[in-house]
Amino acid sequence: MNWSSIRFDWNQARAFLVTAEEGSLSAAARALGMTQPTLGRQVAALEDRLGVQLFDRTGRALQLTQAGLELLEQVRRMGEAAGQFSLVATGQNEAVEGHVSITAGDITAALILPPALIRLSREAPGITVEVIASNEVQNLRRREADIAIRHLRPDQPDLIARKLGEEEAHCYATGAYLARYGEPTDPTDLRGAVFAGFEPLERFVSEMQTRGLALTRSNVRVSSGNGMVLLEMIRRGEAIGVLSPAIAAHIPDARPILPGFTPIRVPSWLVSHRELRTNRRIRLVFDLLVEELSG
């Protein structure tokens, strides 16, 4: 292909094609959404570039010259090819495919995300998902993940956040726990009560004390930075745990206890980086998660 032999601008060729099809510069300008003088300059520039006259101008009327008639058929094929190019490009853009990474706490990743991921796999099978189940905050600005579910709203200006909802976490225990250890009724007297607590343990104990529980380190038989470990201890009836209603619902016989406990407000935010505005793959996943997880 001798690329140097192509001596025209496609925008100018398009101006010629639309003018010939519409029959006048004014109609062509309206069709292309530009001013008539601008369109006229593009047609004139094409004539100068090719060294041929494309139209005879008689007053306001335009008549194709013989050269214009011969070139019109060529440029029509170019127009059809350009239209097909745009159609294929649009199809590629609509066929959303690729990889998206989502980070969430281990309990959320294991119990809350799966229904949304199942729906995503059915509606957008071309998208693959990596779930980063971690209670550590992944850095979206460094692209450690594309989307994050967090309990704090980020303050970085280059991140986009959508609030999913808010719950109140309470103390829960199962029937098996209550049968074995009894139900504590006085938050100021927790002798014999057994808790499962998050690490760092000092922070957990302090948080419980500020909410009216006379909790000490001796009450916490098992502590972990892994929420699923603590959830299993609660499910097996070995400990009291602090859970949101959505998580407690996954333990069939768990019920709230210690009504004097001041509940912990747990907001949930869906967060992504600015590419959310332009990346259709990430946007699709983000919007689906909003629909599935809101409330």
Whether the pLDDT of residue 282 is over 80: the answer is yes
Furthest CA-CA distance within the chain: 104
Cβ(118)–Cβ(276) under 8 Å?
A: no
Strand, coil or helix: 273:
strand
pLDDT band (50, 70, 90) for residue 295: low
How does pLDDT run across 227-237, given as a tens digit for each residue? 999 999 999 99
Cα–Cα distances in angstroms (integers) from residue 6 to residues 3, 66, 249, in the given order: 6, 21, 69
Whether the pLDDT of residue 78 is over 60: the answer is yes
Residues 6+ apart with CB under 8 A from 248: 170, 172, 254, 256
- Can you tell me the mean pLDDT for 90-101? 67
In terms of Cβ atoms closer than 10 Å to its own Cβ (0-12, 13-18, 19+), residue 292 is middle
Selection from 25, 30, 10, 29 nearest residue 57 by Cα:
25
3-state secondary structure 154-178: CCCCCEEEEEEEEEEEEEEECHHHH
- Predicted confidence at residue 73, as pLDDT, reads 86
Selection from 191, 168, 169, 178 nearest residue 240 by Cα:
178
| pTM score of the predicted model | 0.66
Strand, coil or helix: 133:
strand
Element (H, E) at 206: helix 201-210
Better pLDDT: 210 or 281: 210
How does pLDDT run across 25-49, given as a tens digit for each residue? 888 888 888 888 888 898 888 888 8
Cβ(195)–Cβ(233) under 8 Å?
A: no
- Predicted confidence at residue 157, as pLDDT, reads 80
